[in-house]
């Protein structure tokens, strides 16, 4: 029996965009979803509750919007296979490994993948399950391609990491940002559509930016914003790239009406631009939390439960993935 869908049904022709979170349950491997309509939060339902598929993972899921569908990517809970599920506005489908889909490429990792839409395709980047090499695969809407080590692709890059990398498009370049394996240095390479550049440290002057977890990036106010956890504490930092230079390396901490706004987490937060604000989402004491920058101040740094009129209480023990749909 097909379950009745109650997840984010858009009226036909609607121009409304929703901010959607996907996250692993705090005490289960089910993937759950919540969404924000610009006013309040809704959902906190598992995809299995909303559909006839049951996607599960023991890592953090990620998501993109592509060809009017929501795609969620995740490591299998009992294997290194990378899976995807997708939502067409009415129904969830998939929960298939990439290998089971058209193209039959064996995309695997012992960490979470990251996904980005660039040049008309979905790109997945992921650490190999048996090494620190970073691989890439792409989906053109019909078939999967690649599963190729970046060092074997055109250019000078030889990126490696012991965690999940992060990817973002900025100024027509595809940036791949990652933590150096066995260290805390932040590194990056970029692709111009043909070649990968030589890997370089993310640095401000002589200072190389540091983290102990996966960084996340988003484009906001005509700049690339890099959000990352401090290498020695739960503090969250932000740096900016204007196309030529990095700046910042500033702890996210503000004061609103005599109240301290300071996001803290064991994990690197996710980041996204929505309704002219920069949002970050993170885990804190198993609560899904958010903070946002309005161009002047940081706000929030509270759990969604505390910020929601609907009193939903999303819980996780990993970084939530965020996407606009």
Give the sheet arrangement for strand 173-179, strand by strand: 166-170, 173-179, 186-191, 200-201
User: Is 9 part of any domain?
Assistant: no
CA distance linking residue 313 with residue 203, whole number of Å: 38
User: To the nearest whole percent, how much of the chain has pLDDT over 90?
Assistant: 90
* Number of domains forming the structure of the chain: 1
Name the DSSP letter for residue 13.
T
User: Is 261 part of any domain?
Assistant: yes
pLDDT at 2: 46
User: Is 206 part of any domain?
Assistant: yes
Low-confidence ranges of the chain (pLDDT < 50): 1-2, 4
Q: Which of 311, 24, 17 is nearest to 33 (CA)?
A: 24
Which neighbouring-strand residues pair with 68? none
Mean pLDDT of the chain: 94
User: Is 173 part of any domain?
Assistant: yes
Sequence-distant (6+) residues with CB within 8 A of 65 are 71, 117, 323, 324, 325
pLDDT at 285: 96
Q: CATH number of the domain that 152 lies in?
A: 2.120.10.70
User: Is 1 part of any domain?
Assistant: no
User: Is 175 part of any domain?
Assistant: yes
pLDDT at 255: 84
Instruction: Give residue 82's domain range.
Output: 19-324
Tell me the DSSP string of 36-58. Answer: E-SS-EEEEEEHHHHSS---B-S
User: Is 11 part of any domain?
Assistant: no
User: Is 13 part of any domain?
Assistant: no
pLDDT at 10: 56
Sequence-distant (6+) residues with CB within 8 A of 283 are 265, 266, 267, 289, 316, 317, 318, 319, 320
């Amino acid at each position: 029996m097909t379950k009745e869908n109650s997840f984010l049904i858009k009226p036909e022709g609607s121009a409304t965009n929703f901010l959607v979170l996907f996250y692993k349950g705090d005490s289960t491997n089910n993937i759950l979803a919540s969404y924000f309509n610009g006013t309040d939060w809704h959902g906190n339902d598992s995809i299995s509750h909303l559909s006839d598929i049951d996607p599960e993972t023991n890592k953090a899921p990620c998501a993109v919007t592509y060809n009017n569908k929501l795609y969620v990517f995740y490591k299998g809970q009992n294997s290194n296979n990378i899976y995807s599920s997708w939502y067409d506005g009415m129904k969830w489908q998939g929960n298939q490994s990439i290998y089971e889909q058209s193209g039959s490429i064996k995309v695997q990792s012992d960490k979470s993948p990251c996904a980005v839409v660039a040049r008309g395709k979905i790109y997945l980047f992921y650490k190999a399950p048996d090494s620190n090499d970073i691989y890439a695969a792409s989906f053109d809407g019909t078939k999967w391609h690649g599963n190729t080590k970046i060092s074997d692709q055109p250019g000078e890059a030889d990126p490696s990491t012991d965690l999940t990398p992060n990817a973002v498009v900025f100024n027509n370049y595809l940036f791949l940002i990652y933590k150096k394996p066995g260290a805390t240095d932040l590194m990056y390479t970029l692709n111009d559509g043909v070649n990968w550049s030589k890997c370089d440290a993310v640095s401000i002057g002589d200072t190389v930016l540091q983290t102990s977890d996966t960084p996340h990036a988003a484009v906001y106010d005509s700049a690339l914003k890099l959000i990352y956890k401090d290498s020695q504490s739960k503090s969250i930092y932000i740096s900016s790239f204007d196309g030529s230079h990095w700046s910042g390396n500033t702890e996210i901490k503000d004061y609103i009406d005599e109240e301290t706004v300071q996001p803290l987490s064991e994990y690197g937060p996710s980041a996204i631009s929505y309704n002219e604000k920069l949002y970050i989402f993170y885990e804190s004491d198993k609560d899904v939390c958010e903070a946002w920058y309005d161009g002047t101040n940081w706000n929030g740094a509270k759990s969604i439960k505390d910020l929601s009129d609907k009193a939903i209480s999303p819980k996780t023990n990993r970084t939530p993935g965020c996407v606009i749909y």
